Amino acid sequence: MNIPLLVDSHCHLDRLDLTPHGGRLENALEFAYQQGVGYFLCVCIDLEHYPGILAIAGQHDNIALSVGVHPNERAGEEPTIERLVDLAQHPQVVAIGETGLDYFRVKKTDSEWQRRRFRHHIAAARQTGKPLIIHMREATEDTLHILEEEGAAEVGGVMHCFVENWDIARRAMALNFHISFSGIVTFPNARELREVAQRMPLERLLVETDSPYLAPAPHRGQTNQPAYVRHVAECIAGLRNTSLAEIAAATTGNFNALFRIKRRV
Ligand SMILES: [Zn+2]
Ligand SMILES: [Zn+2]
Find the ligand nearest to 136 CA: 1
Q: Is residue 1 part of a domain?
A: no
Judged by its nearest atom, the ligand closest to the C-alpha of residue 135 is: 1
Which ligand number lies closest to the CA of residue 102?
Answer: 1
In a domain, 168, yes or no: yes
Task: Indicate whether 264 belongs to any domain.
Answer: no
Which pTM was predicted? 0.97
Model pLDDT, residue 241: 98
Whichever domain contains 248, its CATH number is: 3.20.20.140
265 residues of the chain, pLDDT tens digit each: 456 799 999 999 999 999 999 999 999 999 999 999 999 999 999 999 999 999 999 999 999 999 999 999 999 999 999 999 999 999 999 999 999 999 998 888 889 999 999 999 999 999 999 999 999 999 999 999 999 999 999 999 999 999 999 999 999 999 999 999 999 999 999 999 999 999 999 999 999 999 999 899 999 989 999 999 999 999 999 999 999 999 999 999 999 999 999 765 5
Cα 49 from chain centroid?
A: 17
Residue 172 lies in a domain: yes
Residue 69, domain member (yes or no): yes
Q: State how far Cα 209 lies from the chain centre.
A: 8
β-pair partners for 8: 40
**pLDDT (0 to 100) of residue 238:** 98
Distance 135 CA to ligand 1 centre (A): 5
Where in the sequence is the domain holding 56, given as residue range(s)?
6-258
Half-sphere exposure of 52 (CA within 13 A, CB side): 12
Q: 210 CA to middle of ligand 2, Å?
A: 5
Domain tally, the chain: 1
Does residue 265 lie in a domain region?
A: no
Residue 1 Cα to ligand 1 midpoint, Å, equals 34
Give pLDDT, residue 28.
98
Per-residue 3-state assignment (H helix, E strand, C coil) for the chain? CCCCCEEEEEECHHHCCCHHHCCCHHHHHHHHHHCCEEEEEECCCCCCCHHHHHHHHHCCCCEEEEECCCCCCCCCCCCCHHHHHHHCCCCCEEEEEEEEEECCCCCHHHCHHHHHHHHHHHHHHHHHCCCEEEEEECCHHHHHHHHHHCCHHHCCEEECCCCCCHHHHHHHHHCCEEEEECHHHHCCCCHHHHHHHHHCCHHHEEECCCECCCCCCCCCCCCCCHHHHHHHHHHHHHHCCCCHHHHHHHHHHHHHHHCCCCCCC
- How remote is the CA of residue 1 from the centroid of ligand 2, in Å? 32
Ligand nearest to the CA of 137: 1
Note the ligand closest to the C-alpha atom of 12. Answer: 2
Residues with CB under 5 A from ligand 1 (ion): 135
